Amino acid sequence: QWVEKRNNYLATGRWKMSTAKNTVPMLAVFKPHRPKDKPELRTVFDLRERNQNTVRLSAPLPDIEQVLRRVAGKKYVSAMDLQACYEQIRCIPEHVERNAVTTPTGNMVSEVMLQG
């Protein structure tokens, strides 16, 4: 599953090969699954040091009813698969270099958010 996921991420531009030295390690774990489902690989990253250096910004969630009223009847609606949400949110281009990771097949940078 790792090779398939890596190839998919490289082909879709979510990851790029890199020679970066300031990497964090990648861990491969399986997502919890129902007994009949095939286990699915999840990549997580050891971001403890970065998380300790992060300024936490807390804000209340928006009123969902108000959000629904505002988007009702609009021409375009977007959707996000929340089961893989980290892998769908692009990083600010100037922050990509901070997403350098060590994988079993070499160093890469992630163009999308890292989970860790």
Q: pLDDT of 67-99, one tens digit each? A: 888 888 888 877 766 767 777 889 999 999 999
Tell me how far apart the alpha carbons of residues 109 and 24 are, in angstroms, rounded to a whole number: 10
Rounded CA-CA distance 111/116 in Å is 15
Average per-residue pLDDT for the chain: 87
Contact 115, 89 (CB under 8 A): no
Q: What is the mean pLDDT of residues 41-64?
A: 88
Map out the domains of the chain as residue ranges: 2-50+77-110
One DSSP character per residue, 5-47 reads: HHHHHHHTTSEEE---SS-EEEEEEEPP--TTSPP-EEEEE--
> Could you report the per-residue pLDDT of 24-35, keeping only the tens digit for each?
999 888 887 777
Tokens of 32: 């919890």
